[in-house]
Amino acid sequence: MHQCAHHHHPAGADYGWAFAVGVTLNVVFVAIEGAFGWWTGSLALLADAGHNLSDVLGLLMAWGGYALAW
């Protein structure tokens, strides 16, 4: 019976691009929503933009943790 001396393991998936896309889209959304909130004087839009900005910070921390673990 033939046995190989090495094993083939699939490489781990690289999700760095997904973090980059997620952060970019969220930052664009925050900028647009914040601008419209400021322009219209809507406190609701400004508050939601601030909330979405905290989501961006969470994504950045997760991305940093992913990068350290990689």
pTM for the whole structure: 0.76
Q: Is residue 52 part of a domain?
A: yes
Indicate whether 8 belongs to any domain: no
**Would residue 20 count as lying in a domain?**
yes
pLDDT at 1: 60
Letter string b/e over residues 28-60, b meaning 16 or more CB atoms within 10 A of that residue's CB = ebbeebbeebeeeeeeebbebbeebbeebeebe
Residue 27, in any domain of the structure: yes
Q: Is residue 3 part of a domain?
A: no
pLDDT digits (tens, 9 = 90+) for 35-51: 999 999 999 999 999 99
Q: pLDDT tens, 14-27?
A: 889 999 999 999 99
Please indicate, yes or no, if residue 6 is contained in any of the structural domains.
Answer: no
